[in-house]
Amino acid sequence: MRTPKTAIGLAMLLLLSAPVLAPAQSLKEIRVGSTDITVSNFWIFYARDHKFFEAEGFDMKMVIIKTEVALAAMAAGDLDYSMLSTSSVEGTLKRMPLRLLAVTNRYPLLGLVMRKGINSVADLRGKKLSISSLGGAVYGAALYLLRAHGLRPKEDVKPRGGRSQFGAHRCAQAWFSGRGPDDSSR
């Protein structure tokens, strides 16, 4: 049988815990779609870790999703936001009901990385160029760069798709999955 003293103790416990529980319960889940976790969108995790979203009443969830699926999900209302710039503008040109609201990066951070002995973009003629995927911003940037130097993609330089061996993607994925950077394998 519960004594009055126990009941008072329970009531006090509930009262004390209420302010702690209330903010978490009132956070609204916001789903943000992106094709990858990269240097261009890492700031969203910086915001999450520094509780900037919580301060505005949101529980931000990142959803990794292919571009074409992300655009369709956006149009259907299954995603709240997407982090696709060029693709979204192009989607809007095809009458998708989207609006670009903010541009957080002036330009993407991409390096054309070469082994020793290759001293100019023109030296790539007849060689293979590894790109993270055949499509998307990095691929588009590579095509732009090759053409700007008078090289024909596919004919003069063969683009090859494949993940970088240097691991930023895997580190970020580990962070994202909650394993933390120290648990990821390079």
Partner 1 sequence: MTAPDDLRALGEGFRILVDVGQRLSAAVGEALVLRRTRFAATPDEVERFLRAVLRAVRAVTEPQNKSDVTRWIGKFFKLDERLADEFYRRLVPSLNPSGWVERDKVKLIIDSAVERGLTDKPLDPDAVTDFSIVRQLKP
Figure out which of the listed residues 22, 148, 154, 178 binds partner 1, where binding follows CB under 8 A: 148
Figure out which of the listed residues 19, 97, 126, 178 binds partner 1, where binding follows CB under 8 A: 97
**Which among 157, 161, 179 has a CA at the least distance from the CA of 170?**
179
* Burial of 52 per CB tally in 10 Å (0-12, 13-18, 19+): middle
Please tell me whether residue 75 binds partner 1 under the rule CB under 8 A.
yes
Q: Which is nearer to partner 1, 16 or 113 (CB)?
A: 113
Instruction: Tell me if 172 sits within 8 A of 42, measured CB to CB.
Output: yes
Instruction: Tell me if 35 sits within 8 A of 66, measured CB to CB.
Output: yes
Instruction: Tell me if 93 sits within 8 A of 45, measured CB to CB.
Output: no
Tokens of 107: 């330009």
Figure out which of the listed residues 5, 94, 128, 154 binds partner 1, where binding follows CB under 8 A: 94
Please tell me whether residue 27 binds partner 1 under the rule CB under 8 A.
no
Bridge partners of residue 63, in order along the sequence:
33
Q: Which is nearer to partner 1, 12 or 39 (CB)?
A: 39
Please tell me whether residue 35 binds partner 1 under the rule CB under 8 A.
no
From residue 118 to residue 137, the character string flagging contacts with partner 1 as x (rule: CB under 8 A) and all else as - is: xxxx----------x----x
Please tell me whether residue 140 binds partner 1 under the rule CB under 8 A.
yes
Interface with partner 1 in residues 102-121 (CB under 8 A):
102-116, 118-121
